[in-house]
Chains A and B, each alone.
Chain A
Amino acid sequence: MTNQPLLEVRDLQTVFELDEGTVKAVDGVSFDVYPGRVLGIVGESGCGKSVTIKSVLRLIEEPGRIANGAIRFRSKILGNSSAEMVDLVQLPAKSAQLRALRGNEIALIPQEPMAAFSPVHTIGNQLMEVIQLHQPVSNEEAKKIAVNRLKEVGVPNPEGAMDRYSWELSGGLRQRAMIGMALTCDPLLLIADEPTTAIDVTTQAQVLSLLRKLQQEHQTSIIFITHDLGVIAQLADDVVVMYLGKVMESGPVDQIFHNPQHPYTRALLRSIPTVHTKNRSRLPTISGSIPHPFQKRSGCPFVARCQEALPQQKCANQAPVLKAINEHQSVSCFLHQGGGNVS
């Protein structure tokens, strides 16, 4: 990791102002994405994963807004030199620059590919449209590129698939076509929001090995979002663990799984069921449930469920901040900030 990051997110805060109150969906999130590496963002439902990447893509709509922070991207189109980074937060919401960035340099694979394809145009037409939007090529050439893309993502009989509609394809094929579409312009950064949550394990395995293969061939950076720790372990190089809109811990995947430092990471790893246990065994659990996002909180977001919480209400009254504990790993917890002696 000697090279410089492709994307730097710093202290990102995205809020939704609703009648019932303000929801801080993302509350001070920071992370880096390095060229050619896969960053996995893991967290339970509602912890702000999707809002984080929607903020990066600047797709947050009313009543939501980015309240604070910087999203610096090393763009080839927008930056003058390779050393310069562009702060996406500063760009106007509907600017041509953002649009150019979204199609060419940052691509998204959404959670539900059904919604991303138009049901009235064939897969082929949509692929060709995207290709011609970004490259000045003739129809024939665009078609050739599209067929090649489909072949590359392992769609059987790609010529035939060009004439099909998205709703005619199975979930796995649709997701492959979506990946093919996202890759048409060789993006620098690919963002995948739970691309395998809606599909079965055997199909998930297909999609994961495809992503792994493509990533190695093209050296694309990927932000991969999931709530499945198994998928993260198989795919990611670096991991960000989120809880209630905040980063709890971040670091290289091996450290996160084999040397977790945050009580939440530790508890989560202990409590997930795996296929490698004896049958009918009781699991260690995390007590309680995720607090409601409207609930006002002071202190550490995990305090109500933390088994290692410090005495004297420190964790309940003060919020820990994300701090590096060694070269790669950062943790947001008083156990690592001299706030109390680790017992």
Chain B
Amino acid sequence: MTSQTTLSSEARENVKDEAFDVAPNWKLVWWRFKKHRLALVSAFVLFGIILIALFPDFFSIQDPNKSSARESFMPPQGISFFHDGSFQVHVKPLKGKRNPTTLKMEWGVDKKRILPLRFFTSGYEYEVFGLFKTDLHLFGIEKPSARNSFHLLGTDRLGRDQWSRLMHGTRVSLSIGLVAVGLSIFLGILLGGISGYYGGWPDLVIQRLIEILQSLPPIPIWMALTAALPRDWTVEQTYFAITLILSLLGWTTLGREVRGRFLSLREEDFVMAAKLSGCSQSRIIFRHMLPTFTSHIIATSTLAIPVMIINETFLSFLGLGLRPPAISWGVLLQEAQNLQSIALAPWLLLPGLAVIFTVLALNILGDGLRDAADPYS
């Protein structure tokens, strides 16, 4: 009887072992990553942010460029869930009154009415990736008008809806981060790989280049380069130029890391074994060397994205990066540049929170990935 139970429990253990035994690398990484709760949460948050970046219009309430002089500096409207004791998601409309002495608009809540909040409502019409047109939005109120307006995060000086602008800014800022990091990865792997795998004079040249690039003070260089961009370039042109500048200066760290990995991998026994069993050079690089550090590259790049985002925000904030009518987090924060507007409309600082959230989430995710990346340690 006892022997029976031990046998079956042993058998069960064997089956459990089996999953581990035949688990390829990505599974081991995933198992380790799953244990990192905070990183898992960050991954979900980022997934949401990426959805926003993909479909900013769907999440917007109003056309981000629509301005209305009469609605400038409206404060955020909170969402309430109960009305008259029953469940009803709604917002309270705002009522403006001009202060007779300062001549400024002062907004107060109109307690008499409520504006019910609708989900999947129709609003302004927009195009999805140039494929089709729709007017579907995640939420909004019915028939917005001057009297019945809804601005979740308030409005700016020109009366533009800040929530919708934030959604669109997310697309630009996140994509600059991603594209710039993507370009840096490409440059880093290419140049670092050449440097590390072939050695010799290409290595010497690339090493010196990296040293020179890293010894340059980054902030003045960015400022000089971005300031040199022609003022009459279109939004798209500046966008690509900025991305290019950020990645041209940003690939060096990754390049160094890739070079170091190649150098140490070249000496690894399993690479030597592959060479001795007759593998071609490209097979050695792509089947044996690159896969051993892809997870590290992913982790490193995840940690590099927030740096890029902050750089872009910083440049745009100084007015050197993207300029209106482009919308990015930096451009939005530019609105909150002077003390007067901060005192008058502190909600203009809210895009800063978006930056902090995203950067934090990316950093936590990157840390989690880095810890999970090496299941063989």
Contacts and interface: CB of A to CB of B under 8 A. Distances in A.
B1 to A, nearest CB: 11
Contacts of B6: 298, 313, 316-317
B35 A19 contact: yes
Interface string A1-34: 0000000000000000001000000000000000
Contacts of B3: 313, 316-317
B338 interface: no
A317 B13 contact: no
Given A317-B2, A317-B3, A317-B6, A296 B35 contact: no
A105 B6 CA distance: 48
A296 B2 CA distance: 16
A195 B2 CA distance: 45
Contacts, number: 12
B158 to A, nearest CB: 54
Contacts of A295: 13
A62 B6 CA distance: 33
Contacts of A316: 3, 6
Interface in B109-142: none
Interface in A298-315: 298, 313
Interface in B22-49: 35
Contacts of B2: 313, 317
Interface residues of B, number: 5
Chain B binding site: helix, strand, loop or mixed by DSSP? helix
A19 B3 CA distance: 30
B133 to A, nearest CB: 51
Nearest to B3: A313
A222 B158 CA distance: 84
Interface in B244-259: none
A2 B2 CA distance: 46
A298 B2 CA distance: 12
Nearest to A312: B3
Interface in A272-320: 295-296, 298, 313, 316-317
Interface string B35-68: 1000000000000000000000000000000000
Interface string B176-200: 0000000000000000000000000
A253 B297 CA distance: 54
A19 B13 CA distance: 18
Nearest to A298: B6
A316 B35 CA distance: 34
A295 B35 CA distance: 21
A19 B371 CA distance: 14
A295 B13 CA distance: 9
Contacts of A296: 13
Interface string A121-151: 0000000000000000000000000000000
A313 B6 CA distance: 10
A295 B12 CA distance: 12
Nearest to A292: B17
A150 to B, nearest CB: 37
Contacts of B13: 295-296
Interface string B1-24: 011001000000100000000000
Interface string A311-333: 00100110000000000000000
B127 to A, nearest CB: 49
Nearest to A19: B35
- B6, B13, B35 interface centre (most CB from chain A within 10 Å): B6
A12 to B, nearest CB: 28
A313 to B, nearest CB: 5
A298 B5 CA distance: 12
A21 to B, nearest CB: 12
Interface string A168-187: 00000000000000000000
Interface string B275-290: 0000000000000000
A160 to B, nearest CB: 35
Contacts of A317: 2-3, 6
Interface in A233-257: none
A316 B7 CA distance: 11
B112 to A, nearest CB: 59
A313 B1 CA distance: 11
Nearest to B9: A296
Nearest to A317: B2
A19 B31 CA distance: 12
12 contacts: A19-B35, A295-B13, A296-B13, A298-B6, A313-B2, A313-B3, A313-B6, A316-B3, A316-B6, A317-B2, A317-B3, A317-B6
Given A19-B35, A313-B2, A317-B2, 6 more contacts: A298-B6, A313-B3, A313-B6, A316-B3, A316-B6, A317-B6
Interface of B: 2-3, 6, 13, 35
Interface of A: 19, 295-296, 298, 313, 316-317
Which 8 residue pairs are nearest across A and B when measured between Cβ atoms? A313-B3, A317-B2, A19-B35, A298-B6, A317-B6, A316-B6, A317-B3, A296-B13
